[in-house]
């Protein structure tokens, strides 16, 4: 299994760089993952990240962009500005939770 070092801590990640174990996450790790993706975290980013972690804790899977847009208080348009390309995927990665289980 691959591993990566974020904020001086070695953590197990999958092929796509998502943390294998959401419990190993910390705010420092989040900032480091974000930086590696070219993102400097602002308050608005944290709002989304914390929302993602809470959703994951409750439902066992991260929300999709559409659900994020409806429930996080941040519009889809803004989510794309905060987390370019794939907000749900990128925010999940930074939040240390698995890639949202795509619908089949």
Q: How far is the CB of 11 from another protein (least distance, A)?
A: 22
Residues 65, 79 contacting (CB under 8 angstroms): yes
Active-site residue 23, yes or no? no
Helix (H, G, I), strand (E, B) or coil at 72: coil
In 10 A of CB 104, how many CB atoms? 3
Cα 91 to Cα 1, 7, 52, 71, distances in angstroms? 22, 18, 8, 15
Q: How far is the CB of 48 from another protein (least distance, A)?
A: 15
The mark string for 15-54 relative to another protein (x by CB under 8 A, - otherwise) is x---------------------------------------
Q: How far is the CB of 10 from another protein (least distance, A)?
A: 23
Any contact of residue 66 with another protein (CB under 8 A)? yes
Residues 47, 74 contacting (CB under 8 angstroms): yes
Q: Which of 19, 79, 91, 92 forms a contact with another protein (CB under 8 A)?
A: 79
H/E stretch holding 101: none
- Chain residues binding another protein by CB under 8 A are 15, 64-67, 70-71, 76-77, 79-80, 84-86, 101-104
Hey, which residues are catalytic here?
103
């Amino acid at each position: 299994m691959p591993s990566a070092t974020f904020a001086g801590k070695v953590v197990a990640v999958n092929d796509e760089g998502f943390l294998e174990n959401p419990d190993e996450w910390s705010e420092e790790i989040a900032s480091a993952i974000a930086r590696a993706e070219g993102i400097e975290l602002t308050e608005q980013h944290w709002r989304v990240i914390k929302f993602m972690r809470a959703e994951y804790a409750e439902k066992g899977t991260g929300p999709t962009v559409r659900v994020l847009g409806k429930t996080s208080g941040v519009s889809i348009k803004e989510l794309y500005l905060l987390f370019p390309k794939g907000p749900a995927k990128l925010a999940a990665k930074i939040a240390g939770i698995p890639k949202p289980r795509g619908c089949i």
